[in-house]
Amino acid sequence: MLRLIKIEFQKLWLNKVSLVLIFISFILPFTVLILSSIKINFFGFFTLELGELGIFNFPIIWHITTFFASYFKFFFAIVVVSMIGNEYSNKTLKQNLIDGLSKKEFILSKFYTIVFFSLCATVLIGAATFLIGMYYSSYTEATIIFREVEFLLAYFVKLVGFFSLCLFFGMLVKRSAFALAFLVVLYIVEWLIFWAAVYVSGTVETAFKIKGFLPLESMYNLINQPIQRIVMTKFPEKTDIMYDYAVHWYEIAIVLGWTALFVFLSFQLLKKRDL
């Protein structure tokens, strides 16, 4: 396993483009996080301090940081599709196999790298969230701090699932740009299925339940948008805006199911293909 990760890391580390993208995907969320946590004074007119809104309070901070940080996954998604696309365009995939890497090992080296990267991103976001929370949060008892730490797990699963999807698209179309386009197509297809479900079942609720089983929606469902929740804390008397933002075991199970399927299909594609 270590050998496979080392192989993939050498390929990524020495490629300037992927190196830059990896750094962006790590550093950008931090910059945003840190900028948003400092007090910004607009030339004495007014000061903007997001901390005062209570969004850096435990436990809601876990929800907010993981939600916004997950948008930066697109940078690493480019790395994932290009690490497949480049192997095809340089024909190094063929050479790797001839040199004695099995097709299974090839896919696993990509998947391990995805897991490793997701793990790093989760640990970093976890650490940063903890520190900022400790600084700003009004409550610092251990039970409150770690109450919604499952958002970190959801973040990790979401990243692994999304990158596995990218891996599969990369294997399917062999070209990085087309693979990214496929993500957009999938997004549209999921909405088409949603509207078809609305038409058939007649209720939006059932349609959302069906959409919840589709890859992109199931990943989104892991960490629902936190804005409504912030509003809820401000106006606790308005019960009509209540919604279910928690991380459920079945949401994780669906995404893990898709992940397993994408990795398996990638392997099958490679196995069937004549290079």
Kindly list the residues in this chain that would bind other proteins in the complex (CB under 8 A). 3, 6-7, 10-11, 14-16, 86, 90-92, 94-103, 271-275
- Could you tell me which residues come within 8 angstroms of residue 221 by beta carbon, excluding any fewer than 6 positions away? 212, 251
In terms of CB distance, is 103 or 158 closer to other proteins?
103
Query: Would the CA dihedral through 214, 222, 183, 82 be positive or negative?
Result: negative
| The residue to which tokens 């730490």 are assigned | 149
Closest approach of Cβ 172 to other proteins, in Å?
Answer: 18
Closest approach of Cβ 260 to other proteins, in Å?
Answer: 23
In terms of CB distance, is 99 or 244 closer to other proteins?
99
Closest approach of Cβ 81 to other proteins, in Å?
Answer: 17
Closest approach of Cβ 13 to other proteins, in Å?
Answer: 10
CA gap 218, 65 in Å, rounded: 19
In terms of CB distance, is 86 or 225 closer to other proteins?
86
CA gap 188, 208 in Å, rounded: 15
CB of 106 closer than 8 Å to CB of 93: yes
95, amino acid identity: Q
CB of 183 closer than 8 Å to CB of 77: yes
Q: Please give the biggest Cα pair distance in the chain.
A: 67
Closest approach of Cβ 100 to other proteins, in Å?
Answer: 4
Here the tokens at position 33 are 């996080």
What are the backbone dihedrals phi and psi of residue 195, each rounded to the nearest 5 degrees, phi first? Answer: -70, -35
Closest approach of Cβ 106 to other proteins, in Å?
Answer: 10
In terms of CB distance, is 98 or 188 closer to other proteins?
98
In terms of CB distance, is 48 or 275 closer to other proteins?
275
CB of 132 closer than 8 Å to CB of 227: no
In terms of CB distance, is 9 or 187 closer to other proteins?
9
CA gap 231, 41 in Å, rounded: 24
Closest approach of Cβ 42 to other proteins, in Å?
Answer: 45
The distance of Cα 200 from the centroid of its chain, to the nearest Å, equals 31
In terms of CB distance, is 10 or 47 closer to other proteins?
10
In terms of CB distance, is 240 or 274 closer to other proteins?
274
248 DSSP 8-state letter: P
CA gap 4, 105 in Å, rounded: 7
- Could you tell me which residues come within 8 angstroms of residue 229 by beta carbon, excluding any fewer than 6 positions away? 60, 63, 243, 245
Closest approach of Cβ 4 to other proteins, in Å?
Answer: 9
